[in-house]
Amino acid sequence: MKQLLSKGYWAVLILLIATIVLGQVVSYIAAPASWQAFVSLLPKYLSMVCFWGPIVAVVAGVMVWAMLKLLGFNSLQEIRKESVEENNPSPAIIFIGTILASILFIMVILRP
């Protein structure tokens, strides 16, 4: 059985956390007032994400489900089979486009 967090995953996780911490330190050193202003607004942004996130997830799910049905697919496995085994990237491209559309939707909603 393959471990969920093997050594490689831990290394990537530590690298990502170190990058975030380093970015915050550089940001604070470069402009402490701006960094503090953003941190003071962080609860507002988090509440917006907590409020709109589930709504956008439902809308994205409906968009993906509708796209699957319109293209005649019943599952993501069928898209994988069509894209990989049949060498037809169109369903996967449309699926990813639908996901990107939902991300753009949340970006429009979560404007400061």
The answer to the question of residue 35 being in a domain is no
Q: How far apart are CA 98 and CA 63, in angstroms?
A: 7
Count of structural domains, the chain: 2
- Whether 48 and 88 share a structural domain: yes
Range of the domain at 6: 1-30
The answer to the question of residue 36 being in a domain is no
Indicate the pLDDT class of residue 17, thresholds 50, 70 and 90.
very high
Q: What is the DSSP string of 38-87?
A: HHHHHHHHHHHHHHHHHHHHHHHHHHHHHHHHHTT-SSHHHHHIIIIIS-
Indicate the pLDDT class of residue 27, thresholds 50, 70 and 90.
very high
- Whether 91 and 56 share a structural domain: yes
Asked whether 99 and 60 are in contact (CB, 8 A), the reply is yes
Q: Residue type at 105? A: F
Q: How far apart are CA 34 and CA 65, in angstroms?
A: 42
- Is residue 2 scored above 60 in pLDDT? no
Residue tagged 């967090």 (tokens): 5
Indicate the pLDDT class of residue 1, thresholds 50, 70 and 90.
very low
pLDDT tens-digit readout, 29-51 = 999 999 999 899 889 888 888 88
- Whether 50 and 99 share a structural domain: yes
- Whether 1 and 47 share a structural domain: no
Q: What is the pLDDT of residue 75?
A: 79
- Whether 25 and 71 share a structural domain: no
Q: Which residue has the higher pLDDT, 71 or 15?
A: 15
